[in-house]
């Protein structure tokens, strides 16, 4: 892939992406609204060249990674697309509102903006914590839509895998509901629990909190992170967070009724269900062989890619490799995917159910 | 202290207490409703002798540790007191209802029942996990009341410290509110969060939960424990749990309103307060010197001991050693306490505020 890569926003994630890309031998151009940070990134060898503006950094870029606060992503992405970047992606934790804004502002360029969310992080903060290996063995969500350009998607997918991450495709709204449930609401719930405990009146004073055991410490640990990013996330993902909080509030109120009613069997049943779910919480892991290659003739239009990849994501089948073989006629192509043998049957069945024909062959 | 020690209930905690006492050279008599478990405990050398009943094990015992499920503690304690045990304590996680039941059933013997709650545990379960060092460096709550016999308290305190634990005295109701807040409600909240996430409808299916990051895993970890003990705890500590859950529900509903309203500054303020509280969560630790000896003339009546020790607990001052020097006349005694120098001033001030005279001297 010719052309440089631009990284806009040189904090922890942006800096890590830049370092990892530099390790891969790419020319990395950086930009940040904070001139001091650009200088620091250049001095530390995180970027090879500093852009003088978003547009200048993005012009002619093969890929632009937007790693700015969630509320600013859409504007930066549109600037980068308008400056002539071939492909723009981001690393924010809220996807649908950002994508909708890019589509509304620059509908003709939106097929080349693909939302992304690396499920990685670190206790470190800022550029100083930037680590080229941050993404190794982690999962990186991409959120293609029916408008997404398939070649752009395949290219981005390849680069993200080069960074060491597994890619999973998830529809933007599903992504936002999911992170509301497994990240945003837990953060708010942990903070609230800590507030309630520390505000305890009467004799439940601070010192007694030293009696709090490991469970409480585990549950409130995430509340000790810097809160700076959360107002932005809560505003951007407001709808999904409110919906998830409402479900949580309803379920907690039910649990309260069980306690108030002394409903032993209801409590036991609920807690056993929770235990079962927690014990079976799938673990993100690197894919292991054996693998199967699936070939799927597809009409050569964008929506197909989002449909197939998000279907795989939904049933938990990891796409290890993906290639789009265009037909010469331009009417139909072949989507070639490599998936673990364990999930291949499920994926074929799911694809056939929605009308695709698939053929599979084991990979040696 | 002459006489044997009896342990009723030979599970993880009871077994650990028995093993620790045996290491200290005490004669340990064990009883369990499960005859197979008594045999296993005898075979494993956890107990020296098996009692044929609660009464037979408790008769003449210097101390009886009751380590049965929370709902059964009061009955076992009353049996043990009636059999002639000099002092009975328990290790359950709910205190006030148990103490009230013992006081109602055997008011004349209740001064010799002292509630206890070792803040220790293990991933292990049952007798097989019993560990004589389980309590080293941990905190063990005792809940003396105005009826508690001071000598019995001082004796129990000494034995618990011999097991390696720090002792903190907390009024029974405060204990129950505290554990509702830092243990019982967190457990229910974690289980409920796990349920809501796993029941996610639509595309939020199970497989996608592998995207749940460390924060979610931390928050739901306690939901993976065996739920068997929880219905009992929830019923026994119903009042305190419902009160704490209501506070949590109210605070969460407020947080939801902040998200729904896009109230950035309110969110930031709350999360910063939570972060501050979490960062300053006191850590249970072994006491370190230098120490101060406080001598407090006290009228020779039971309520004084509970008042003084729970006052120390409430302001977070750890009583390292405690002795009751009775006056010859039987009208007034001297309470001698050793406390860390760092907290001595606060404790003296608090004691003087409620009418005690104190004198302090540093300990070399």
B174 token code pair: 């405060």
Six-digit token string for A276? 């079962």
Q: Are B334 and B191 in the same domain?
A: no
Shortest distance, CA A60 to any CA of chain B (angstroms): 33
Contact between A294 and A358 (Cβ < 8 Å): yes
Residue B115 is part of which domain span? 5-123+130-170
Do B197 and B86 fall into the same domain? no
Which residues of chain B neighbour A70 with C-beta distances below 8 Å? none
Q: Do B259 and A241 touch (CB under 8 A)?
A: yes
Instruction: Give the closest of B195, B205, B208 to A277, CB-based.
Output: B195
Give yes or no: residues B13 and B34 share one domain. Answer: yes
pLDDT, tens only, A205-259: 555 777 776 778 888 888 888 888 899 999 999 999 999 999 999 999 999 999 9
Asked if residue A220 and residue A194 are part of one domain, the reply reads: yes
Tokens coding A311:
């279907």
Beta-strand ranges (E) seen in A39-185 are 49-50, 63-66, 88-90, 113-118, 139-143, 166-169
Please give the Cα distance from A282 to A287 (Å, whole number): 13
CB contact under 8 A, B231 and A264: yes
In terms of domains, do B303 and B250 share one? no
Are B142 and B166 within 8 A, CB to CB? no
CB-nearest partner of B245 from A191, A219, A259? A259
Interface of A with B in 297-316 (CB under 8 A): 310, 313-316
Report the domain count for chain B: 3
All residues at 6 or more sequence positions from A289 whose CB lies less than 8 Å from its CB, including other chains: A340, A341, A363
Q: Are residues A95 and A20 in the same domain?
A: yes
| Closest CA–CA distance from residue B343 to any residue of chain A (Å) | 12
- Is B57 part of a structural domain of the chain? yes
The residue among B226, B252, B277 that closes a domain is B277
- Is A283 contained in some domain? no
| pLDDT grade for A328, boundaries at 50, 70 and 90 | very low
- Are residues A44 and A113 located together in one domain of the fold? yes
Residue B136: per-residue pLDDT: 87
The answer to whether B171 touches B127, Cβ cutoff 8 Å, is no
pLDDT (tens place) for every residue of chain B, 364 residues total:
578 999 999 999 999 999 999 999 999 999 999 999 999 999 999 999 999 999 999 999 999 999 999 999 999 999 999 999 999 999 999 999 999 999 999 999 999 999 999 987 655 678 888 889 889 888 899 999 999 998 999 999 999 999 999 888 888 998 999 899 988 999 999 999 999 988 864 444 555 777 776 778 888 888 888 888 899 999 999 999 999 999 999 999 999 999 999 999 999 999 999 998 888 776 655 456 678 888 888 776 667 778 888 888 888 787 777 777 665 445 567 788 888 888 889 999 999 998 888 888 887 5
Q: Which of A121, A208, A219 sits opposite B170 (nearest CB)?
A: A208
CATH of the domain at B113: 3.40.50.720
Residue B285 lies in a domain: no
**A277/B196 Cβ within 8 A:** no
Among B114, B149, B170, where does a domain finish? B170
Q: Is residue A85 part of a domain?
A: yes
- ipTM over 0.95? The verdict is no
- Assess A209–B contact: CB distance below 8 Å, yes or no: yes
Q: What is the pLDDT of residue B203?
A: 45
- Who's near A145: CB < 8 A, 6+ residues apart? A99, A171, A172, A306
HSE toward the beta carbon, residue B325, CA cutoff 13 A: 8
Same domain, residue pair B180 and B224: yes
Which residues of chain A make contact with B224, given a CB cutoff of 8 A? 275, 278-279
* B174 has a chain A CB within 8 A of its CB: yes
Distances (CA, A) of A126 to A230, A308, B278: 16, 36, 22
In A, minimum Cα distance to B193 occurs at A248
Of the three residues A218, A233, A267, the one that is the final residue of a domain is A267
Name which of B178, B213, B249 is nearest A183 (Cβ-Cβ).
B213
What is the pTM (predicted TM-score) of this model?
Answer: 0.78
Are residue A298 and residue A317 in the same domain, yes or no? yes
Same-domain status, B145 and B24: yes
Neighbours of A78 (CB within 10 A): 20
Residue B253 Cα, gap to closest chain A Cα (Å): 8
From chain A, pick out residues whose CB is under 8 angstroms from the CB of B253. 249
Mean pLDDT of chain A: 87
Give the 3-state secondary structure of residue A5. Answer: strand
Compute the distance between CA of residue A348 and CA of residue A171 in angstroms, rounded to an integer: 20
Does B283 fall in a domain? no
Which B-chain residues 76-95 have CB contacts (< 8 A) with chain A?
Answer: none
Considering the domain boundaries, does residue B198 fall inside one? yes
Measured between beta carbons, which residues in chain B are less than 8 angstroms from residue A178? 200, 204, 208, 211
Residues A248 and A297 in one domain: no
Per the DSSP assignment, residues forming a β-bridge with A140 are A118, A167
Q: Is B356 within a domain?
A: yes
CATH number where A350 lies: 3.30.2130.10
In this complex, is the C-beta atom of A280 within 8 Å of any C-beta atom belonging to chain B? yes
Q: Assess whether A36 and A142 both reside in one domain.
A: yes
Is the Cβ pair B200, A177 closer than 8 Å?
yes
Give the pLDDT band (50/70/90) at residue A323: confident
How much is the pLDDT for B155? 94
What is the per-residue pLDDT for A76?
A: 98
Q: CATH no. for residue B213?
A: 1.10.3660.10
Would you call B239 an interface residue with chain A, using a CB distance cutoff of 8 Å?
Answer: no
Distance CA A337, CA A150 (A): 13
> Residue B224 and residue A187: Cβ atoms within 8 Å?
no
Is residue B281 less than 8 Å (CB to CB) from chain A? yes
Q: Is residue B286 part of a domain?
A: no
């Amino acid at each position: 892939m010719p052309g440089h890569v631009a990284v806009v926003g040189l904090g922890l994630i942006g800096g890590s992406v830049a370092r990892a890309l530099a390790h891969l031998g790419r020319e990395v151009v950086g930009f940040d609204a904070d001139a001091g940070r650009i200088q620091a990134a250049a001095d530390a060898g995180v970027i090879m060249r500093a852009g003088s503006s978003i547009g200048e950094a993005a012009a002619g870029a093969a890929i632009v990674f937007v790693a700015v606060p969630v509320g600013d992503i859409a504007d930066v992405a549109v600037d980068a697309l308008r400056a002539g970047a071939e492909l723009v992606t981001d690393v924010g934790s809220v996807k649908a509102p950002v994508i909708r804004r890019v589509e509304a502002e620059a509908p003709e360029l939106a097929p080349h903006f693909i939302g992304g969310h690396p499920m990685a992080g670190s206790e470190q903060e800022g550029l100083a914590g930037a680590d080229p290996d941050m993404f190794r063995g982690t999962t990186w969500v991409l959120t293609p839509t029916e408008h997404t350009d398939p070649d752009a998607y395949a290219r981005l997918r390849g680069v993200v895998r080069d960074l060491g991450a597994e890619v999973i495709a998830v529809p933007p709204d599903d992504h936002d509901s999911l992170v509301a449930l497994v990240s945003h609401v837990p953060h708010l719930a942990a903070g609230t629990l800590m507030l309630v405990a520390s505000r305890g009146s009467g004799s439940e004073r601070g010192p007694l909190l030293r009696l709090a055991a490991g469970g409480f410490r585990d549950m409130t640990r995430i509340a000790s992170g810097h809160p700076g990013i959360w107002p932005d996330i809560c505003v951007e993902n407001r709808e999904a967070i409110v919906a998830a909080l409402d479900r949580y509030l309803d379920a907690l109120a039910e649990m309260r009724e069980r306690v108030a009613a002394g409903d032993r069997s209801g409590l036991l049943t609920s807690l056993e269900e929770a235990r079962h779910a927690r014990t079976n919480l799938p673990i993100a892991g690197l894919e292991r062989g054996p693998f199967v290659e699936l070939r799927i003739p597809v009409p050569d239009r964008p929506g197909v890619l989002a449909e197939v990849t998000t279907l795989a994501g939904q049933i938990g089948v990891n796409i290890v490799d993906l290639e789009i073989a265009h037909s010469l006629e331009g009417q139909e192509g072949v989507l070639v995917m490599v998936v673990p043998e364990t999930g291949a049957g499920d994926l074929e069945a799911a694809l056939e159910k929605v009308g695709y024909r698939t053929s599979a062959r084991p990979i040696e």
